[in-house]
Amino acid sequence: MKLEDDVETLKGVGPKTAEKLHKYGIISVRDFLYTLPRDYETFETPTSIAEIRPGKIVIRGKIDSLTTRRARRRNLSVTEGIVRDQTGAIKVVWFNQSYRIRQFSPDKEYFFTGEYELKNGRYSLISPTATEVSDVDLKTGLNPIYKAHGSLKSHDFKRLIAASRSQFNLIPDLLPSVPHNTRAKALFYSHFPNSLKTAERARNYLAYEELFELILASRLNRRENDKLKASSIRFKSAAVKSFVDNLPFKLTNAQRRAAWEIFQDLEKSTPMNRLLQGDVGSGKTMVAALAAFEVALAHGQVALLAPTAVLASQHYNNLLQVFQKFDIRIELLTGATKNKSAIKKDIGEGKIDIVVGTHALLTDDTVFANLALVVIDEQHRFGVEQRQRIMLKSPRDLAPHLLAMTATPIPRSLQLTIFGDLDVSILDEMPSGRKPIRTTVLPEIYAKERLYPQIQEVINLPPDTKSHGSKAHGQQIYWICRAIEDDDKTVSEITSVKKRTKKLREVFPRLTIEFLHGKMKPAEKDLIMERFKAGEIDILVSTTVVEVGVDVPNATMVIIENAESYGLAQLHQLRGRVGRGASESYCFLLTTGDTKPSKRLRELEKSCDGFHLAEVDLKMRGPGEIYGVLQHGALDLKIASLSDTKLIARAQKDVDVFLKNPDNLIKYKELMAGISKYQQITTLN
Ligand code: ADP
Ligand code: MG
């Protein structure tokens, strides 16, 4: 068995299955073997039906009399059946799982695991999991469960893996200085554990391998960056002081510290490679402005890249204002800019000092005369390739300095791994006078009684005038929905932007209610945002497109629907759209149905600290959530124990030892080939 061969070479994998696997990125034998179980079910001795008691139970039996019906409450289907063993029979019930009706065959035996409880006056087994007895290794009582990939279900993965069972010992080791056959054993026991302990130990090793690769990649990135040359920019203390003195507010200490760290980087002749991390509203833009100011004074050009046109023009206007008294030329370049070619010409001739723009800046015909600093706002919004493009826009041999900014706090454990060799500045202090945003988790069904009165109050709608609203009445509201339009094909509990807008217009006919989403044309989106900024819109119903950095201080309430479907980091970002002015701000997190809000969401009621929330997310939902926000879906760790600081520390130490011997970089070919993927992820530029 060769790891780099196509999956089709595996026993039992025909062309059709191979095609399906390819579709999900499972191309090679390696990809396939590293598709590990997402969980392990355990079936201790099942209880006989005659002896069951209320609570969590495991029973083993056959099922019949399956029926499914719609409940009186909308959007709910009820599937029922009878499970029997030699000692008796009980009723089982599933909600909204109508596929169960086709899942079972009457003569097969299954394990059922779930809660046996009183519902509507009768004891039943509620929403149990069901596993075919023949799927379970009855010696260990374990059933590894694989994530379904389209029509390939857990069961299929098991069958395919089992076909290769005898060949695992052919898998070569990846890392130096591990006992022989370590990787082969780890993979084998992940798929065929003889106890939960062995499975855990095996996965732990695979996690270590991944961390090793990740950390090695980030160390190598650092080496590469250090080989580049950049123009050194001398710190001009008098000019910076007068600039700061002229600002309408005092910089926070955190802003001063970050700016100072940046100034020191800019003086070096290797390019700066710095990530500026700060919670929403912590004032990152001003720090970027200080860096831009220094570079412009030294006659270097600055490119400030923002993910949306709205954000770019917001930055542009802010910079125009703070640089008013200085001889610095600033231009805006977005898709909607009229005289693009004239601006590009001036950029090419070095006549523009600072250009603020969107993806429009990335086109081939934008060439800088002397690009010395690139600032990327909301860096996770850009793909690796886009970030690389802007960095290559200087025609000279010098690489630009890079300042990337993000509002997503990166927990320390992640910082040590993915961004291990990056310089990081942190804004851990808010400008003074900010109040915490009052946050309430609320089941959607109470919205009418709890939320609507407060909406009236915030918008300050006079109760008895008959005027139809064409301008805002008071403060403004964001209303965030998960989807743009209702999907007719699936019964879903998600209220779309379109539907919510319609509903709100019915409830509040005198308010100006508009919507915003990613499928609108950029010009349309900008127009809506401009009107919202100007206070002409009372409620803006939107998808998460408003998440990114928009600053409208008069908006003081944000309502987020289907809140349970987001990560805390993202909810915190969305919440950060309000709380930007002097008045009290509110956030309502609406949850689906009438279920009790989760502990996870309740964290948002308690805390406005992005770092704390990111840690909670990392613990409760795993790292995928944070990468999702951070890094445009690039990092796909299979086993990732990025909250395991001990394992990280061990991998770091081993990487250091590995790097001490330069021959290793040549000797371990497979390792080196694999990490090029990680190198892309861990780099900023
Ligand atoms: P973010 O870090 O989320 O990008 P911004 O840079 O948009 O935050 O800043 C948020 C708001 O705070 C802006 O209106 C900005 O002008 C203001 N601001 C920035 N620094 C300070 C400060 N030191 N004191 C008061 N207000 C500040
Ligand atoms: Mg910002």
User: Closest Cα partner for 199 from 142, 241, 240, 151?
Assistant: 142
The protein residue with its alpha carbon nearest to ligand 1, atom 25, reads 431
The C-alpha atoms of residue 385 and residue 376 are separated, in whole angstroms, by 13
Query: Is the C-beta atom of 285 inside 6 A of ligand 1?
Result: yes
The CATH superfamily holding the domain 44-135 is Nucleic acid-binding proteins (2.40.50.140)
Look up residue 449 and give its DSSP letter.
I
Q: Give the CB-side neighbour count of residue 626, counting CA atoms within 13 A.
A: 29
The protein residue with its alpha carbon nearest to ligand 1, atom 24, reads 431
Q: Is the model's pLDDT at 140 over the cut of 90?
A: no
The protein residue with its alpha carbon nearest to ligand 1, atom 16, reads 283
- Distance between Cα 322 and ligand 1 center (Å): 13
Neighbours of 219 (CB within 10 A): 19
Query: Is the C-beta atom of 304 inside 6 A of ligand 1?
Result: no
- Distance between Cα 306 and ligand 2 center (Å): 9
Query: Is the C-beta atom of 381 inside 6 A of ligand 1?
Result: no
The C-alpha atoms of residue 564 and residue 493 are separated, in whole angstroms, by 12
pLDDT of residue 625: 47
- Distance between Cα 195 and ligand 2 center (Å): 49
The C-alpha atoms of residue 83 and residue 532 are separated, in whole angstroms, by 58
The protein residue with its alpha carbon nearest to ligand 1, atom 20, reads 283
Same fold, 237-267+282-406 and 438-607: yes
Ligand number nearest CA of 282 is 1
Q: Ligand 1 pocket test: pick from 282, 323, 380 the residue with the most ligand atoms within 8 Å of its Cβ.
A: 282
Please tell us whether the domain made up of 438-607 is placed in CATH 3.90.190.20: no
- Distance between Cα 284 and ligand 2 center (Å): 6
Q: What is the pTM of this model?
A: 0.71
pLDDT of residue 626: 47
Q: Is the model's pLDDT at 355 over the cut of 80?
A: yes
Ligand number nearest CA of 252 is 1
User: What type of residue is 325?
Assistant: K
Q: Ligand 1 pocket test: pick from 245, 276, 285 the residue with the most ligand atoms within 8 Å of its Cβ.
A: 285
Structural element, H or E, at residue 589: strand 586-591
Q: How confident is the model at residue 44 (pLDDT cuts 50, 70, 90)?
A: confident
Fold of 237-267+282-406: Rossmann fold (3.40.50)
Query: Is the C-beta atom of 249 inside 6 A of ligand 1?
Result: yes
Going by C-beta distance under 8 Å and a sequence separation of 6 or more, which residues neighbour residue 639? 36, 203, 206, 207, 210
Q: What is the dihedral of CA 250, 256, 259, 260, to 10 degrees?
A: 140
User: How large is the average pLDDT for residues 613-641?
Assistant: 57
Phi, psi of 143 (to 5 degrees): -130, 105
Phi, psi of 301 (to 5 degrees): -95, 150
Express each pLDDT in 562-600 by its tens digit.
Answer: 998 888 888 998 998 898 877 889 999 999 866 677 888
- Distance between Cα 331 and ligand 2 center (Å): 19
Express each pLDDT in 69-124 by its tens digit.
Answer: 887 766 788 999 999 999 999 999 998 888 898 889 999 999 998 899 988 788 99
What is the residue extent of each domain of the chain?
44-135, 237-267+282-406, 438-607
- Taking the CA of residue 255 as reference, the ligand 1 atom at the shortest distance is 23
